[in-house]
Amino acid sequence: MSNRVGPRQLREMAQARIGEVLGALFPGQAITYPVFTPLNPTRDDKTPGSFVIWTRGAACGGFIEYAREGEKGDVIDLVAYVHRRDRAFALRWLEDLFGIRDMDPALLRQAKATARTKACETQKADSAKLARKRRIANDMFRRAEPSILGTVAEDYLAARGIAYRALKFPEQDVRFAPSLEWWKGAKWKTEEGGVKTKVEPGPKFPAIVAAMRNIHGELTAVHCTFLRADGTGKADVAGAKLMYGQVKGAIIRLTRGPSNLTWEEAKANGVLEPFAVGEGLETMLTVGLAIPECVTGAAGSLDNIANVYVTHDRVEETYVCFDNDAGPKLAEKRNTIMDVLGASGNPVAAMMPPDGINDWNEA
């Protein structure tokens, strides 16, 4: 009788031996860590960069092709993708690569145990890394000034047509940092073993620092908008808006709605109110000013809107305030978001700006 290995165990074995797997899939290409960017063998790829494979962490072996919508998956999907076959083929390919079918049962048990141990160690390391990021995010928020009133952050929003002090019942989650490192501009040195050490910090700018909270009200990430010194616009850097921490499923809570209750207070008292959510901070502050009847929040990104909490014990109905980005792929993504949020059972409606207008702030 041939040896049997389930998909989960085979995925763990493939992750534990990721160098061997990638060496067989991409012969002659040097494997790099923590990400590997080979040429995509499924197309006439001339320049590496858009085809990304993770080589460390819980997502080890997972991939995404940024040049093509929807082309992504785990290490088993990667094998199928490269060979242009299905997952059943990929499972057989991995079994053959590892010699599983003819392996001595005792050695196979040992290989499974080794892969499971490594998977558990990776999970613990990833959890510790995530906890560290959450601590740093909380520290960034704690160190920021508790109000943006009278600061260049208020000037910046005013230049965008947002009278922040006119908000009715704002949450207390938008703060101001007079000098915050734009960490994307930091320089790092990779030590032996892949450990990175910061050798030069990034430049500092004034910044809006907004808390991003999960369904339990815990601050899991921050959203930072880096500004020019005089507040006349965003800082002149590539990527003046950054998020740090555990972003998935978290939102920036902006306004409380007519009850003036926090999410937790409203849930405890059975108060339901309409909820408006969108991508950007400025967009949803604009909506909060225009529609004080709604609780408002910002997801930070289009993809994260699908992860927001629209629970029955807080939300009466949800209005998704999309940007007016063109293109069939973005339209498909908006439809997917509506389907996901609609599965909650609460009424969900999309709000699109008028034609020719980019977002609700511009409108």
Give, in order, the Cα–Cα distances in Å from 357 to each of 186, 273, 361.
36, 28, 9
> What is the C-alpha separation between 242 and 81, in angstroms, rounded?
32
The count of domains in the chain is 2
**Do 151 and 232 fall into the same domain?**
yes
The CATH number that applies at residue 39 is: 3.90.580
> What is the C-alpha separation between 122 and 347, in angstroms, rounded?
40
**Do 148 and 23 fall into the same domain?**
no
Instruction: Give the pLDDT score at 169.
Output: 93
* Domain closes at, from 87, 121, 155: 121
Instruction: Please indicate, yes or no, if residue 52 is contained in any of the structural domains.
Output: yes
**Do 194 and 327 fall into the same domain?**
yes
**Do 98 and 171 fall into the same domain?**
no
**143 and 176 in contact (C-beta within 8 Å)?**
no
**Do 90 and 155 fall into the same domain?**
no
**Do 107 and 166 fall into the same domain?**
no
**Do 26 and 68 fall into the same domain?**
yes
**Do 256 and 206 fall into the same domain?**
yes
Instruction: Please indicate, yes or no, if residue 236 is contained in any of the structural domains.
Output: yes
Instruction: Please indicate, yes or no, if residue 37 is contained in any of the structural domains.
Output: yes
Among candidate residues 312, 319, 309, 314, the one with its CA nearest the CA of residue 284: 319
**Do 174 and 86 fall into the same domain?**
no
Instruction: Please indicate, yes or no, if residue 136 is contained in any of the structural domains.
Output: no
Instruction: Give the pLDDT score at 192.
Output: 67
Instruction: Give the pLDDT score at 1.
Output: 45
Domain extent, residue 54, equals 7-121
**Do 197 and 266 fall into the same domain?**
yes
Tell me the pTM.
0.72
**Do 158 and 92 fall into the same domain?**
no
| Average pLDDT for runs of 10 along the chain of length 363 | 76 91 92 90 87 89 86 94 94 90 79 79 73 92 96 96 94 97 91 76 97 94 97 95 94 95 93 95 96 95 91 90 83 89 89 87 84
